[in-house]
Amino acid sequence: MIAGSIISFKEQLNKVANTSDDQEKSESKDDPLEDERQGFVREVGNQAVWSLSSCKPGFGVERLRDNIMDTYWQSDGQLPHLVNIQFHRKTSISQIYIYTDYKLDESYTPSRISIRAGSHFNDLQELQIVDLTEPTGWVAIPIKDGSVKSIRTFMLQIAVISNHQNGRDTHMRQIRIHAPVEGRHYPLELFGKFSTVNFQKFATIR
């Protein structure tokens, strides 16, 4: 009887462990702010003009850039749903980070995203398609041109092609755009762990 109880207890422990592993797989551990603080990249989204294909009143483009994970952009139209990011000058881009939360948004969560780049709306070319499976947290999307680990472009477009559970509209909570930092960098981590926007402006010496 005791041996049976021990085996049953071990099985319960294994189930808990497996459940924990599954949860870790579904949750992203990426943190774009970490690379920014260390000076490896800089966030250049504030140098661009942002626009959307559609939005619900009060859930517009400003929600994607307010640094608040509890707010979100909600589309209001037919798929695909578009986020357009237009730079005033040709800009190097190495990564896009998108924050989503399947646990809260369910059928509003993107399941397939297309990343496009070009000079303007009429010459956009698809760089890659990203498939997401119930993402929770930051999703890192490296932007490459062949073997080169970054591209130079005037415009980026993030297109939501489909949502989980065949959802019609989509939710995105945050988007950050990274440019590589060339040359020597001076990580703020040497002086302490700063996270405010004002400190991040001085993450590198130019």
pLDDT tier, 57 (very low <50, low <70, confident <90, very high otherwise)? very high
Is the distance from CB of 82 to CB of 170 less than 8 angstroms? no
* pLDDT average, residue stretch 21-46: 74
pLDDT tier, 21 (very low <50, low <70, confident <90, very high otherwise)? very low
Burial bucket for residue 111 (CB in 10 Å: 0-12, 13-18, 19+): buried
Is the distance from CB of 178 to CB of 43 less than 8 angstroms? yes
Q: Using one digit for the tens of pLDDT, what is the confidence trace for 98-131?
A: 999 999 999 999 999 999 999 999 999 999 999 9
Distances in Å between the Cα of 5 and the Cα atoms of 1, 11, 19, 131, 150 are 6, 10, 21, 43, 57
Is the distance from CB of 141 to CB of 97 less than 8 angstroms? yes
Q: Which residue has the higher pLDDT, 198 or 169?
A: 169
Q: Which residue has the higher pLDDT, 22 or 96?
A: 96
* Cα 8 to Cα 18: distance, rounded to the nearest angstrom: 15
Q: In the chain, what are the domains?
A: 29-183 (2.60.120.260)
Q: State yes or no: cis peptide before 80, omega within 30 of 0.
A: yes
Q: What is the reported pLDDT for 23?
A: 41
Q: Using one digit for the tens of pLDDT, what is the confidence trace for 140-195?
A: 999 977 777 899 999 999 999 999 999 999 999 999 999 998 765 555 555 565 56
Output the six-digit token pair for 170.
């989509």
* Cα 95 to Cα 140: distance, rounded to the nearest angstrom: 7
- 151-163/110-118 β-pairing: antiparallel
Q: Using one digit for the tens of pLDDT, what is the confidence trace for 34-55?
A: 889 888 899 999 999 999 999 9
* Cα 173 to Cα 73: distance, rounded to the nearest angstrom: 6
Q: How many CB atoms neighbour CB 147 within 10 A? A: 5
Strands (E), the chain: 41-43, 48-52, 73-74, 81-93, 95-101, 110-118, 125-131, 136-142, 151-163, 171-172, 174-180
Q: What is the reported pLDDT for 183?
A: 63
Distance of CA 105 to the CA centre of its chain: 15
Q: What is the reported pLDDT for 127?
A: 95
* Cα 100 to Cα 19: distance, rounded to the nearest angstrom: 21
Which residue type sits at 160?
V
